[in-house]
Amino acid sequence: MAAPVLYQADEGVARLTLNRSEVRNALGFDMLVALGEHLDRALADPSVRLVLLDAEGPAFCAGMDLKAVDLSDPDQAARFAAGLAEVYLRLMTLPLPFLCAVDGPVSGGGVGLVAAADLVWAGPRARFSLPETRLGLAPALVSVVLRRRVPLRVLTQMALGGIALDGAQAAAHGLVDFYAEVNGGVSAEAFANGLLGDHAPGALSRTKKFFVSQGTDDLERQLADAEREFREAVRTDEAGRGLEAFRRKEFVRWDIP
């Protein structure tokens, strides 16, 4: 079985690549564990000065792997929520610059991986969406991360209005820093190499650590609150109906009683 996340360290860049293209890089327990292990690996390597996240296949991340994670099991739901919260916390407090390159659809919890980055690149195939409420769920955990990048009105449009953002729209709202059709296609990898060549490594690390110390007040509390909301949401009758429809590949019409 292929590794859920690939790791390669070269010339100061630790590259983490989501590698479950057969399920559109959906987040299961194995991928969350692998992300944590590879972050440990990067931090333990003194030659690594920057972390870059990207993905194999046409999709960046389809959100939670609802076929691998049984949300009807309270223990699995709680374990997934805790695992995702831990990955978000680690990415947002990473003491190294963290870049993300996206050129494909990103849904649900995958949007949080992107939003946790310091700098985000998007290509013309990028599309960001929060489909949770269609399934009777709440995008609680991802909202904690996303609110640090986009205005509340944009989060509301995505979470309550079902509005998806393409790369250009995501760039206009602050979720994406560089959009390929705007900046001439300069890649995250090329930028990373230039960044390492042009900036003092100690200064980069000190700057990132200072930003983290100044900008993550109450982050752990907010993620803990979001975990609790996630666990409560998955126990509702609506979630049961929505998830069953998903498994049957059916569309749910949420008619007013």
Per-residue pLDDT for 14 more than 50?
A: yes
Residue 184 has a pLDDT of 47
Question: Encoding tokens for residue 112?
Answer: 């949080």
Per-residue pLDDT for 182 more than 70?
A: no
Q: Which DSSP category does 184 fall into? A: T
| C-alpha span between 230 and 239 (Å, rounded) | 11
Residue 257 has a pLDDT of 55
Q: What is the pTM of this model?
A: 0.94
Go through the domains of the chain in sequence order and give each one's CATH number: 5-186 (3.90.226.10)
| C-alpha span between 165 and 126 (Å, rounded) | 8
Q: Which band of pLDDT confidence, cut at 50, 70 and 90, is reported for residue 150? A: very high
Using a pLDDT cut of 70, give the percent of the chain over it: 97
Q: Which band of pLDDT confidence, cut at 50, 70 and 90, is reported for residue 88? A: very high
- Name the residue type at position 2: A
| C-alpha span between 3 and 20 (Å, rounded) | 8
Strand order in the sheet with 165-166: 105-107, 127-129, 165-166
Residue 167 has a pLDDT of 94
Mean pLDDT of 102-127: 96
Q: Which band of pLDDT confidence, cut at 50, 70 and 90, is reported for residue 1? A: confident
Per-residue pLDDT for 195 more than 90?
A: no
